[in-house]
Amino acid sequence: MADLIAQLDEGNPRALPRLLSLVERRDPAGMAALAALYPRTGKAAVVGITGAPGAGKSTLVNALAHAARAAEMRVAILAIDPSSPVSGGAVLGDRIRMMDLHADPGVFIRSVASKGRTGGLAPAAAAMVHCLDAAGYPLILLETVGAGQDSIDIDVLARTVIVVQAPGFGDGVQAIKAGILEIGDILVVNKADLPGARELARTLRGSLDHPEPGEWEVPVLLTDAASGEGVPAVLDAVLQHGRWLAQSGEIAQRLRVAASAEVLDGVRNELQRRLNAATAGSLDQVISDVAARRTPPEDAVNAILASLPGLGGAASDQRGG
Ligand SMILES: Nc1nc2c(ncn2[C@@H]2O[C@H](COP(=O)(O)OP(=O)(O)O)[C@@H](O)[C@H]2O)c(=O)[nH]1
Ligand SMILES: [Mg+2]
């Protein structure tokens, strides 16, 4: 573990992928390294990019990475979207630009399976973001699928959320109704080269509340992510939002919300794991007894809870990893 951290600090290119793999599968060595690294995290600009499939999120992430490199910022990309990996669905030009990124030591690209959850974040995503942060990437881009309500998690993990829209995906009213715009710190209307983009941007601007003094004013920006046009302005808005978070003190609130979600998710996952372990093989019978009126539901609940290690259950408390 100390070795891994030393390698990370020396900039050994193999250290970060290794750490991420260990952390993704919650390997004890990886978790120990992350625990040691955790105090130095919390500084990176963690940017979530969400929006309907096909809106151009992957293309925008690529273009943002290029804009960051042009500004001499190192950048890490975490794609939380197995159906559309960061290089997937791209036309030839996109693929060539991705190859530039892969060859650039200032860019780190990784994807993480969302483990069957539709949209939402992989359980390991938060831990992996901490690793990228600890490795010193000042900018971390998270691409996630955003199908309505499922994408809401991204606003917990990210410090800045970009909601990507494109013409031809409804008139913007759908997004307004789905509430997805509410999580956006920056709204991007991509495919500005297509008809309807300007109109969509106008509709979105019209739907936004006027900010109170000192509040963040959500910009609506037009991009052609495929050509890169308008993308440096998105990067500027990201950096400006980061400065606003710091100046307004809002950053403390966001870090708190993220910490709360991560801790409570962790507790829930661990309880679920213990529940599965404790009831393996016996749950079917317990449910049958309740269904057949042999056991009252309340008694079954209490019996299961009493059998959970560490919850006042039997002395067979086993620490799981
Ligand atoms: N015309 C046009 N097409 C774009 C633009 N950005 C992305 N695309 C294309 O839209 C399709 C979906 O893009 P992708 O980035 O995979 O979308 P995602 O599913 O949101 O990640 C791809 O064929 C892209 O090449 C753009 O600004 N203009
Ligand atoms: Mg994509």
156 & 256 share domain: no
The reported pLDDT for the residue numbered 119 is: 39
Domains in the chain: how many in total? 3
* Angle at CA of residue 8, ends 7 and 9, nearest 5°: 90
Burial classification of residue 302, based on how many CB atoms lie within 10 Å of its CB (0-12 exposed, 13-18 middle, 19 or more buried): exposed
- Which amino acids bring their CB within 6 angstroms of ligand 1? 51, 53-59, 84, 89-91, 94, 190-191, 193-194, 224-226
Q: Are residues 147 and 222 in the same domain?
A: yes
Residues 172 and 314 in one domain: no
User: Per residue in 192-205, pLDDT tens?
Assistant: 999 999 999 999 99
Nearest CA residue ID for atom 7, ligand 1 = 56
User: Residue 216 is part of a domain; what is its CATH number?
Assistant: 3.40.50.300
Ligand 1 atom with the shortest distance to the CA of 194: 1
What pLDDT is attached to residue 94? 46
Question: Residue 244 — very low, low, confident or very high, per pLDDT cuts 50/70/90?
Answer: very high
**Ligand 1 mean position, distance from CA 12 (Å):** 34
Angle (CA) 314-318-321 rounded to 5° is: 150
Task: Look at residue 247 and tell me whether its pLDDT is greater than 90.
Answer: yes
Cα 319 from Cα 311, distance rounded (Å):
12
* 224 Cα nearest atom in ligand 1: 27
Quick one: which atom of ligand 1 is closest to the CA of 88? Answer: 16
Most informative mutation of 49, 59, 194 for ligand 1 (most atoms within 8 A of CB) = 59
Same domain? 132 vs 170: yes
Range of weakest confidence among 84-98, 155-169, 250-264, 293-307: 84-98
Q: Which atom of ligand 1 is nearest to the CA of 94?
A: 25
Distance, first Cα to last Cα, the chain = 16
- Are 211 and 269 in the same domain? no
Round to whole Å and give the CA distance between 243 and 316: 51
Are 276 and 308 members of one domain?
A: yes
pTM of the model: 0.86
Question: 178 and 314: one domain?
Answer: no
Are residues 8 and 52 located together in one domain of the fold?
A: no
What does the pLDDT look like over 100-150, one tens digit per residue?
788 888 999 988 766 544 434 566 889 999 999 999 999 999 988 655 444
- Kindly state whether residues 236 and 140 are assigned to the same domain: yes
Show the domain range for 315.
250-321
User: Model confidence at 66, in pLDDT bands (50, 70, 90)?
Assistant: very high
Same-domain status, 87 and 221 = yes
CA of 280 to the centre of ligand 1 (A): 45
Same domain, 71 and 83: yes
**Lowest-confidence region among 114-123, 207-216, 258-267:** 114-123
Please name the residue whose Cα sits nearest to atom 12 of ligand 1: 54
Is residue 256 domain-shared with residue 244, that is, in the same domain? no
Report residue 197: phi and psi, to 5°: -65, -45
Q: Nearest bound ligand to CA 62?
A: 1
> What mean pLDDT is predicted for residues 292-313?
86
